[in-house]
Structure 1
Amino acid sequence: MPLTVRRARAHYNASGARDAHLHRDGAGVDMETGAKKGRVLATIAWTMLGLAGIGDVRAQTIEQGLLQLEWGDPARPAPGKARLAPRFNAHLVKDDGSRIALDAAQARLAAGDLYVLANRRVAVSFALQGRVMSSAPMIQAIVPADRVTQSAPAHPANARVMAAAPVGGNTRWVTLMCKFSDIGTEQKTKAFFDSQYGDAVGQLGHYWREVSYDKINLSGSSAYGWFALPQPRSHYVTKENGEDKADLRKLFADCGAAADATVDFNSVQGVNMMFNGDLDGYAWGGGSCAPLEGKTNLCTRVTWNPPWSFSNLAPLAHEMGHGYGLPHSNNSDGDDDTYDNPWDVMSDGWANAVSDATYGTRPKHINIFQRHRLNWVDAPRQQVIALGDLSTRDIALDYAHLPASGNVQMLVLSLSPQADPYATIVYILEARKRQGTYENALAGDAVIIHKVERSGTAYSVDADVPAANRANNEGSMFKVGERWVTPEGSHVVTVKTQTATGFVLTVGPLRIMSSPLPALVRPASVSSPSTPIQAVAPANRNAIRAKPPARCGAVHLGNVRAAVCAQRER
């Protein structure tokens, strides 16, 4: 993609966000109403695509509509069995209800951070037919065509924050219990599904309040059913290239239609569908549209859950996270398995998890960057260490789960800027503690370091070589006395002490003195966590892939860890 496209796209994202027509905490969206509100904004999108330098805009194919993302997550594999690969679908839902399938790889590149645009109105520029040798049109750019309240002040050094739409307040979900016409089993009762939304410890209402620092609640959420689907399972789950494939649109349309007379879909922000049979080996989460409430297309957050998913709150919370627009997290072992980071329910929800006699496996928290995506980390709890900052300071990093922390909970290390702001690579540090209703089975108390790459995926850093298959190893937990150096050598982090509320870190530049090891400077005071996230500078991806400098071996002695040695790149 031309650099001018990326710059113009970032400029458009920063150009303004005031009143959201499709706010993330809004109820179901009527596509017809959204179309009227989006026409003026489409003119802005058209103009920005012209400024992007992609050629004669009048000759391009530019479509607008709702960006719909669907994540498919496989069941936990049996011992000794391989896990199925995740699935991912992206569609543009036009105002007339028709859908355009988007190539996932192209869409990620064209949008910069595709996930912050989930369930929002966008404009998509396609290449002219004949310019590319493909049956599907090449995506050149995706920009928002709505206006949103930003989750942080816009800054060109942190493009993924510019486009973010916060989630807050009441997010009422409804459960629709639907059974296939050829399967009579009803695994759980309505009372069970109602209780899942409760505010008691171990229930989803309590979980999402805790994870969001009380920024959202599920008040008014309730269950309905069981409803009978008009068709057998084979009508909804068919074979494609030898594999089961669930027709998610049919499932939502028929399950929603069965409940339409009972449920007021205009007042809900999400729909959890529970089916009494397996789907295609996956549970799904994201967004979808269906003809409900007399509308041609009512669009909202949706999850599709087979029995193994709704019997455990961890996968159900995972799919709801996708409904909120959260992507997967990952570890840094370089394989294709995204479910190997047990520090985030949006990756490995099964390992290092607490069990519940009623609700199965409980969900762990999401990582601090995922919280920030949804605007749940207040600015005073964020601190950025800018590139070129020569100060050495102590920083109190409080545990991420603490709801009323007065210290930093999200520490960002800024690296070298890039001309393309969406090429940003930053390192984000958080502190985690093995305690509480949802986190009592974590691997330990430690500082966890996340590398945030293009498209907004967070990879936990592992100092072991090779990186472990699952990030519950010692190499992924940075503890007292251990030191870590950013790939460019621009920042050195030492875990100085553990406190009752977290850790104290010493952070400063790399200093090469008479010894090959960077000096550890211990200043007297703890810094004030006053710098918000908008100052993050982009990083040089190529530099990270480059051969490690000669000091690498020396830095990786004893308790000292250097990411240029230890981190394995995808």
Structure 2
Amino acid sequence: MTGCNGRGVRARGRAWLAGAMLMLACTAAGAQIVQGRLALQWGDPGPAQQALPARLSATLVTDEGARIALDPAQARRAAGDLYALSNRRVAVAFAARDRGVLQRTAVEVIVPADRLWQRAPALDAAGRVVAEAPVSGTTRWVTLACRFSDIATEQKTTAFFTSQYGTAAGQLGHYWNEVSYGKINLTGSQAYGWFALPLARGAYVTMVDGEEEADLDKLFTDCAAAADPTVNFTGVQGVNMMFNGDLDGYAWGGGACATLDGVRRCPRVTWNPPWSFGNLAPLAHEMGHGYGLPHSDNSDGDDDTYDNPWDVMSDGWSNATYDGTYGALPKHINIQQRDRLGWVDAARKLIVPAGNFSRTQVALDFASLKGSTHPQMIVLAMPAGADPYATEVYTIEARRRTGTYESALAGDAVIIHRMADYGTAYSVDADVPPADVSNNEGSMFTPGEVWQSPDRSRWIRVDAMTATGFLVTIGPKLRVTGGRLPGLRKAAAPLAPQPAGSLRSAREASHPSPARAGARRAPADRGARGPIAGRRMR
């Protein structure tokens, strides 16, 4: 991709100043630069809205409070790692039309403009500047239960909502502490409500181009204003809003801004209808978006992002454990998502640079193991292309069926994810064609099996299972010396679109409710109101 004044985004991987230099080049080329907070909001359909696509809204909220809708596909390319900039202060360069008229849909460059960017960011395995979005310490959330003026039902009590934040196994405080290896806690999180909204549901959810669309900002502003006399928002990092009626078929997670306690604040925010807050899995999914995590996916090539049950940021329903009080419980997130938030220590991460073809055996500990003494994340870098942010990177982790959240996984195995499309993690499936849901044998690599990268430059052999994980050998072309025969996986198949509904029947049989099934419409972002040519919404 070429940026302002002919400079390519590849330059961003050369030094941490390159992004700022490119921004200066945009200024010289006549582009207009606007600073503000980047608000990303992900929409996830409920079980009764199976045919709806995932949605993503990207908005620049200026210091004056103006809202500029950004094309998500353009924003991904312009930022490189857009998701690491969620809810942060950024500078956006917009291309200018003739006579200097601002063309807001032409996003050229997005770079961080907050204090996190004042230190030199690290480079990742592909030579890309890592914007970094670490989350650590106490992340206090408050639940605000708000009811529409025309709906009287209050599905859950505030005592129930407060209990969701508990530290016992199967509660959110316990879950996020476990997933983060103790890096974060939810101490002080509490629920309040029910608060009466000033308007009926129809004032917040209107028809736009024949579809319902929730005014997320108005919902947050009015719900927070109703709670403001009661709730002390000082130190609050996240707000979970629970509404007593359906929104627009979706639950939402991301960030938003409003005046709280007389101060303009921009916390992590989720918008939850009853089907979402009745189960911890979708609620944790939306909180993950609040932390800045994008969706994950599998490698079947369709436009359904909810088919990777190795990550709650994709399929929260399949292979989930259940609790009589809190419903479907969230499984863990994949190792790349953990690393995105700064939860994987450097000593637990092994990066194999592109061009390194030496052979080595690694003791790979289970990703769920707290206090690991061996690597829990292996990163295989691939040769960089013209745009390093579009360069593929493979991550390798070990998963096992254990504990409160992971005991219903499909098996104990090495799991591989392909990082592509500016930050999306696709679970690798060696079956041809790939399965519709990646809880199949092809997605699980076990002792005696070998995987090779599509360009045949990297091979991974799973040698044996240990008490704490797996022994894996990494290197050039490998031979199988024992174990199961033939024991060889074929090269990972490239992504290819599958006929609509071709692999749905097996999935529907495996988890009929609340399954995701049926063909999905072409995804659309909230701002453009239509499909974005050549790219799937993630």
TM-score under structure 1 normalisation?
Answer: 0.82
Name the aligned partner's letter for residue 306 of structure 1. P
What amino acid does structure 2 have at the position aligned with 1:50? L
Report the Cα offset of residue 307 of structure 1. 0.5
User: CA contact under 8 A between 2:394 and 2:417: conserved in structure 1?
Assistant: yes
Aligned partner (choices 43, 51, 56) of residue 28 of structure 2: 56
Establish whether residue 490 from structure 1 lines up as the match of residue 469 from structure 2. no
Within 5 A, what are the aligned runs for 1:130-169? 130=98, 136-148=104-116, 154-155=122-123, 157-158=125-126, 162-169=130-137
Q: CA deviation at 1:7?
A: 3.8
Query: What per-residue deviation string (whole Å, max 9, x for no partner) do you get for residues 16-47 of structure 1?
Result: 9xxxxxxxxxxxxxxxxxxxxxxxxxxx94x5
- Deviation string for 1:506-526 (max 9, x for gaps)? 11112xxxxxxx43479xxxx
Distance 1:187 1:145, change over 3 A: same
Task: Give the letter aligned to residue 353 of structure 1.
Answer: A
- Once residues 268 and 378 of structure 1 are traced to their aligned partners in structure 2, the CA distance between those partners, rounded to angstroms, is 26
Query: For residues 157 and 507 of structure 1, do their structure 2 counterparts lie closer, same or farther at Cα, with a shift above 3 Å needed?
Result: closer
1:150–1:162: 8 Å Cα contact kept in structure 2?
no
Percent sequence identity is: 61
Q: CA RMSD in A?
A: 2.4
Instruction: Say if 2:247 is the partner of 1:279.
Output: yes
Q: How far has the Cα of 1:55 moved from its partner? A: 7.0
Query: Offset at 1:489?
Result: 1.7
Letter in 1 for 2:221: A
SS in 2 for 1:407: coil
Question: In the alignment, which of 210, 213, 233 is matched to residue 181 of structure 2?
Answer: 213
Distance in 2 between the 1:303 and 1:95 partners? 22
Work out whether residues 451 and 492 of structure 2, in 8 Å CA contact, stay in contact via their aligned partners in 1: no
Say if 2:40 is the partner of 1:69: yes
Structure 1 residue 564: deviation in Å? Answer: 4.5
| 1:55–1:304 distance in 2 versus 1, CA, 3 Å | closer
Q: Whole-Å Cα distance in 2 between the matches of residues 120 and 220 of structure 1?
A: 24
1:27-71 superposed Cα distances (whole Å, 9 cap, x missing partner):
xxxxxxxxxxxxxxxxx94x54124xx4724x2211110000000
Cα 1:482–1:156 shift into 2, 3 Å: closer
Give the structure 1 partner of residue 2 of structure 2. 2
CA change 1:425–1:458 in 2 (3 A) is same
In 1, are the aligned partners of 2:95 and 2:102 still within 8 Å (CA)? no
The answer for the alignment partner of 1:463 in structure 2 is 430
Name the aligned partner's letter for residue 47 of structure 2: R
Match of 1:234 in 2: 202
Q: 1:289 aligns with which of 242, 257, 262?
A: 257
What's the CA shift for 1:158? 4.0
Distance 1:135 1:66, change over 3 A: closer
Matched, 1:428 2:388: no
After TM superposition, give the deviation of residue 496 of structure 1 in Å.
0.7
2:125, 2:352 within 8 Å by CA — same for their partners in 1?
Answer: no
- State whether structure 2 residue 396 is matched by structure 1 residue 402: no
Do the aligned partners of 2:13 and 2:123 also contact (CA within 8 Å) in 1? no
Given that 1:132 and 1:138 are in contact with CA atoms closer than 8 Å, whether structure 2 keeps it comes out as: no
Query: 1:113·1:454 contact (CA, 8 Å) conserved in 2?
Result: no
The equivalences for 1:241-280 within 5 A come to 241-280=209-248
Moved more, 158-167 or 232-241: 158-167
Q: Distance in 1 between matches of 2:480 and 2:138?
A: 47
C-alpha contact (below 8 Å) 2:68/2:104 kept by paired residues: no
CA 566–2 in structure 1, closer or farther in 2 if over 3 Å, else same: closer
1:488: Cα distance to partner? 1.9
Partners of 2:322 and 2:119 lie apart in 1 by 34
**1:175, distance to aligned residue in structure 2 (A):** 0.2
TM-score (norm 2): 0.87
Relative to structure 1, the CA distance from residue 356 to residue 465 in structure 2 (aligned partners, 3 Å threshold; closer, same or farther) is: same
SS at match of 1:561: coil
Contact persistence 2:125–2:393 (CA under 8 A):
no
Greater shift in the superposed pair: 490-499 or 325-334: 490-499
Q: Does 1:562 align with 2:457?
A: no
Q: Is 2:126–2:384's contact at 8 Å kept on the other side of the alignment?
A: no
Is residue 504 of structure 1 aligned with residue 471 of structure 2? yes
Contact 1:151/1:161 (CA < 8 Å) preserved in 2? no
> Displacement of 1:218 after TM fit?
0.2
Q: How has the CA–CA distance of structure 1 residues 417 and 9 changed in structure 2, closer, same or farther, with 3 Å as cutoff? A: closer
Task: Give the partner amino acid of 2:395.
Answer: I
Structure 1 position 10, deviation (Å)? 4.3
Counterpart residue type for residue 244 of structure 2: N
2:416 matched to which residue of 1?
A: 449
Counterparts in 2 of 1:132 and 1:568: CA distance versus 1, 3 Å: farther
Counterpart position of 1:123:
91
| Alignment check: 8 A CA contact 1:5 1:49 kept | no
Distance 1:131 1:215, change over 3 A: farther
Distance in 2 between residues matched to 1:316 and 1:151, nearest whole Å:
34
Once the two structures are TM-superposed, the CA of residue 391 in structure 1 deviates from its matched residue by 2.3
In structure 2, distance between residues paired with 1:152 and 1:408: 25
Counterpart of 1:191 in structure 2 is: 159
Compared CA separation, residues 150 and 159, structure 1 to 2 (3 A): farther
Which residue is 2:512 aligned to? none
Distance in 1 of aligned mates of 2:121 and 2:90: 21
CA contact (8 A) 2:46 2:275 kept: yes
Displacement of 1:159 after TM fit?
5.4
**Offset from partner CA, 1:256-279 (integer Å, 9 cap, x none):** 000111112232000000000111
Give the distance between the partners of 1:394 and 1:87, measured in 2 at CA. 41
Structure 1 residues 412 and 391: alpha-carbon distance in aligned structure 2, compared to 1, 3 A threshold? same
Change (3 A) 1:161 1:563: farther
- How far the C-alpha of 1:467 sits from its partner, in A, is 0.6
Paired positions, count: 493
Question: What secondary structure, in the 3-state scheme, does the structure 2 residue paired with 1:308 have?
Answer: helix
* Equivalent residue in structure 1 for 2:53, among 75, 81, 85: 85
Map 1:315-464 → 2, pairs under 5 A: 315-464=282-431
**Alpha-carbon deviation of 1:167?**
0.5
The alignment partner of 1:251 has SS state of helix
